[in-house]
Amino acid sequence: MTTMTRPAGPPQQTRTPRAAGQKRPFGLVRHSLALAVRSLIKTIRTPEQLLDVTLQPIMFVVIFVYLLGGAISGSQHAYLQYLLPAIMVQTLMFASIATGVSLNTDVEKGVFDRFRSLPIARSAPLVGSVVGDLIRFVVSIVVLFAFGYAIGFRIGTNPLSTIAACLLAMAFAFAVSWIGVLLGVLMRSPGAVQGTAFLVFFPLTFGTNMMVPTSTLPGWLQAWVKINPVTDLMEAARGLIIGGPVAKPVTQSLIWIVAIIAVFAPLAVRAYRRRA
């Protein structure tokens, strides 16, 4: 008897898990959301991470309003109305630093080595870290407005306009979080990330009309305040919350949000890939 042999066909190509994962639609979005949930769970299990976004805005309001408000504007209530929208912006700016610090901690502990072995997009861990920290922004805003209302702050426009101001500030904080992410990838320790980020964000937040009108500042400082993107955001927040011009500062803030993300998000992803 003769044995019939089946002719060999073309070799079967096996798809690796990574290749299969990359071909799935909306893979980056799904992977980023999954890692954002991880970041959210980590925050819930360690609530002390929220101390900076809950106690810090209250401390700033108390210090500025009750120690300086009477001397600066003559009325603590009037100064509270002027100051609180700017404090919201400042708090979210500082809260975005934690994104870079947390990311750097995960990198140093080897968590991102595990991520690199998974069939996910390389940028997914970075996007997930930024999106996951949005809960910190929400908590900060709720605590700030609750405390502000308890001591006499009142909205001068309407709830929808106020929500728009909060969303605009959160979008700006999301954008500047990519600066923190870039520092988190480049720096060698969480302490270095935090120190460098404060050096960057302090001139941006305090070099504004947060505490006093621009016209009262020295000429050289007015020049910086007028080109500072955070000034536009604070003016937009004031206009939307207590009333005032909104078209120009809101438009400029949106332009800055797009520009910051367009510059620093690709730089952060590129630095992460090089470090990988």
Q: Specify the length of the chain in residues.
A: 276
Contact 85, 96 (CB under 8 A): no
0.75 exceeded by pTM: yes
pLDDT for residue 239: 95
pLDDT at 204 over 60: yes
- 24 — pLDDT class (breaks 50, 70, 90): low
**Residue 14, pLDDT above cutoff 50:** no
Looking at beta carbons, which pairs linking 153-158 to residues 24 or more positions away fall under 8 Å? Answer: 153/80, 153/81, 153/84, 154/81, 155/241, 155/242, 156/81, 156/241, 156/242, 156/243, 157/240, 157/241, 157/242, 157/243
Q: What is the mean pLDDT of residues 147-162?
A: 93
- On the question of pLDDT at 257 being above 60, the answer is yes
Judged against a pLDDT cut of 80, whether residue 51 lies above it is answered with no
Share of the chain above pLDDT 70, in %: 86
Higher pLDDT, 61 or 121: 61
Please spell the DSSP secondary structure of 25-38, one letter per residue.
TTHHHHHHHHHHHH
When pLDDT is averaged across residues 234-257 and rounded to a whole number, the result is 94
What is the pLDDT confidence band of residue 26, given thresholds at 50, 70 and 90?
A: low
Rounded to the nearest integer, the mean pLDDT of the chain is 83
Confidence band (pLDDT; 50, 70, 90) for 127? Answer: confident
* Spatial separation of the C-alpha atoms in residues 212 and 214, rounded to whole Å: 6
Q: What are the C-alpha distances in Å from 233 to residues 56, 90, 238?
A: 20, 10, 9
pLDDT confidence of 155, banded at 50, 70, 90?
A: very high
Longest dimension (CA), the chain: 110
Residue 171: what pLDDT? Answer: 94
Question: Could you tell me which residues come within 8 angstroms of residue 98 by beta carbon, excluding any fewer than 6 positions away?
Answer: 49, 52, 133, 136, 180
